[in-house]
Amino acid sequence: MNFLETAWYSKARWLIFLWPLSLLFQLVSTLRRKKHKLYSDSSKLSVPVIVVGNIAVGGTGKTPLLIALVDILKSKGINPGIITRGYGGRAIAYPLEVTPLTSVSECGDEAILLAEKTGCPVTVGPDRMAALEALVSGNAVDIVLSDDGMQHYRLVRDIEICVVDGQRLFANGFCLPAGPLREPVQRLKEVDFIVINGKTSEQSPILESAIEMVMEPKFLINILNKERRPFIGAPFNIGSIVQAVSAIGNPQRFYDLLDKLPYQVKRFKFPDHHLYSVEDLFSAGVDEHQPVVMTEKDAVKCRSFARSNYWYLSTQVCLPPTFADEFISRVETLV
């Protein structure tokens, strides 16, 4: 965490001096949302739109949930498409359709991962409405899922799913910059589904109807040769030091999983969506003789220089069957 994040989640008292700025941020956000909501009309869209987002800065697990939702939709014969911001990528022009030839430097790590894991058409662009129009005009899809975009108020949506980090929840409950929230907690009363990523020890009335999502570690997969080793047990030589490399919003959940292995874990944290180079890892002190383990999202950025000791952790999203039934029931009223 950086200095400000640490203050948010430790609920530092001095943040109260930023509270007036938070009120201003919240007011502007509310006015913008009301303005766009006044003129929005989902009936004008050729396909329904589902937004999977959050109200807090940082990673909450939106992308793995979206991948799981795609699997649910496909199991019912529904053909989804995906739009995403493309954080970490810099394309010459947007919207950009992700193809097997698109580089991660153009579209970002999430877009590559989404395209490969789902097999769906994926369009990238900071303007979600423009990305949506480009996706629909060039592909036969029944429904569109937006990876993030709750605060992209121009994007008309039929269903909103908000993902909450079960470990960190809402920190001190303040909006930016005094806290990590992009919108106040009360915004959750307006979404269709609240999904909590992981168990939480704190009780909150607004989360009483939330669905719990669990990320189960399954395999360690070699980036270079695709070898799979079960996560349980001791997948590496006894005495190995596991070097955990991450460039995600909240790496603590990833570290907690690796701590279950019978090895010493050495952590190497990079900024969120960091575009790795081999020099980055060597400069940070990564040992080329010890196993390097990263998330699947990080791994897509290391393929060009991966070595035989580079692995990523493959996980499976577990959701209650009742959620899948309710989700499909809502979708079937739209498609």
Q: Which amino acid is at 97?
A: E
Place of tokens 């999502």: 213
Phi, psi for residue 313 in degrees, rounded to 5? -90, 120
- Reported pTM: 0.93
> Lowest mean pLDDT: which of 29-43, 62-76, 105-119, 237-251?
29-43
Strands 143-147 and 49-53, by their bridges, are parallel
- Write b or e for each residue in 4-21: b if 16 or more Cβ atoms lie within 10 A of its Cβ, otherwise e: bbebbbeeeeebeebeee
Place of tokens 């990528």: 89
Q: Which amino acid is at 271?
A: P
Look up residue 77 and give its two tokens. Answer: 């014969």
Share of the chain above pLDDT 70, in %: 98
Q: Of 156, 159, 152, give the one whose Cα is nearest residue 191.
A: 159
Q: Of 153, 162, 212, give the one whose Cα is nearest residue 187.
A: 162
The DSSP line for 199-216 is --SS--GGGTTPEEEEEE
Output the CA torsion sign for 204, 183, 3, 273.
Answer: positive
Contact 313, 254 (CB under 8 A): yes
Mean pLDDT, residues 179-200: 94
With a CB cutoff of 8 Å and minimum separation 6, the contacts of 256 are none
Per-residue confidence (pLDDT) for residue 41, from 0 to 100 = 66
pLDDT in tens, 270-310: 998 899 998 999 999 999 999 999 999 999 999 999 999 99
Q: How confident is the model at residue 191 (pLDDT cuts 50, 70, 90)?
A: very high
State the Rg of the chain over Cα: 20
